[in-house]
């Protein structure tokens, strides 16, 4: 077993230099077969950071609850705003856990974040703010629009084929149907974010149907085993 001090990975086999950075290896063991270096798991690599963040989250929630209780008990405040803090911390950890689990596929991560953030926004709006409709007025259409733009930008940066992220883009377009229903049923009070989301969805769908029609057909045939 050899060790690369630059990358922090363990390498088994007859490697003289690290396959990742080409730095010299130490404590080389020539008897083992050549293998790719063993990368440390994210949960182990950042376990100290995650534990520190978890401790800070617990401290923030506990301090907020104590201060809020003291203010309510003294009559200076009547609202339990510590519930917002606790809910925000819980949502943050759920979102962070999803990012860590889905980190190998960025487009899937974006789609999961849209779904989670949409549910969080609706839950907050319904349970904590008395359904003021900010979730469907602003949060949902903005999340869907940003997700569509982020998928296209990531595809250009990573030089992905359309087939590599087409399904996730189509699923995000399904989320964009919600603003359409909200406008049709007159659920929203502010129409601009929904109109921007619908316009972006129509443009994305038209781009797929006009310029990526063959790729779309091949992907559907592959997915449906036709």
Give me the domain span that covers residue 34: 1-40
For 38-56, what is the mean pLDDT? 71
- Condensed to tens digits (0 to 9), the pLDDT of residues 128-186 reads 888 999 999 999 999 999 998 988 888 888 888 887 788 888 888 888 888 889 899 99
What total number of domains does the chain contain? 2
- pLDDT, residue 66, reads 95
For residue 202, pLDDT over 60 is answered with yes
For residue 192, pLDDT over 50 is answered with yes
174 in a structural domain: yes
49 in a structural domain: no
For residue 38, pLDDT over 60 is answered with no
Other beta carbons less than 10 A from residue 172's beta carbon: 26
- pLDDT, residue 176, reads 81
Q: Report DSSP letters for 89-154, one per residue.
A: HHHHHHHHHHHHHTTT-HHHHHHHHHHHHHHHHHHHHHHTS---SHIIIIIHHHHHHHHHHHHHHH
- Condensed to tens digits (0 to 9), the pLDDT of residues 73-100 reads 988 877 888 988 998 899 899 988 888 7
38 phi and psi, to 5 degrees? -85, 110
Q: Of all helices (H) and strands (E), which one includes residue 4? A: strand 2-4
- pLDDT, residue 116, reads 92
**pLDDT higher at 55 or 225:** 55
Which of 10, 25, 40 finishes a domain?
Answer: 40
- pLDDT, residue 30, reads 47
Surface-to-core class of residue 144, CB atoms within 10 Å of its CB (0-12 exposed, 13-18 middle, 19+ buried): buried
103 in a structural domain: no
- pLDDT, residue 143, reads 92
31 in a structural domain: yes
- Tokens 């296209």 — which residue? 152
96 in a structural domain: no
pTM above the 0.75 mark? no
Burial 43-58 (b: 16+ CB within 10 A, else e): eeeeeeebeeeeeebe
Return d(Cα 139, Cα 193) in angstroms, integer: 9
222 in a structural domain: yes
214 in a structural domain: yes
- Residue 25 has which token pair? 């290896």
203 in a structural domain: yes
């Amino acid at each position: 077993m050899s060790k690369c001090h630059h990358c922090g990975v363990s390498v088994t086999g007859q490697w003289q230099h690290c396959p990742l950075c080409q730095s010299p290896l130490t404590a080389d063991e020539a008897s083992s077969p050549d293998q790719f270096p063993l990368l440390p798991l994210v949960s182990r690599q950042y376990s100290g950071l995650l534990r520190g963040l978890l401790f800070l989250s617990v401290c923030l929630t506990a301090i907020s609850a104590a201060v809020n209780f003291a203010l309510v008990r003294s009559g200076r405040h009547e609202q339990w705003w510590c519930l917002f803090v606790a809910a925000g911390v819980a949502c943050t950890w759920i979102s962070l856990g999803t990012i860590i689990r889905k980190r190998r596929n960025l487009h899937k991560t974006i789609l999961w974040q849209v779904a989670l953030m949409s549910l969080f926004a609706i839950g907050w709006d319904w349970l904590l703010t008395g359904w003021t409709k900010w979730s469907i007025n602003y949060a949902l259409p903005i999340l869907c629009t940003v997700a569509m733009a982020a998928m296209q930008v990531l595809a250009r940066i990573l030089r992905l084929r359309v087939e590599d992220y087409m399904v996730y883009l189509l699923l995000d377009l399904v989320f964009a149907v919600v603003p359409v229903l909200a406008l049709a049923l007159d659920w929203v009070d502010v129409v601009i974010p929904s109109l921007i989301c619908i316009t972006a969805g129509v443009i994305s769908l038209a781009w797929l149907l006009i310029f990526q029609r063959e790729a779309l057909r091949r992907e559907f045939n592959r997915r449906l085993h036709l």
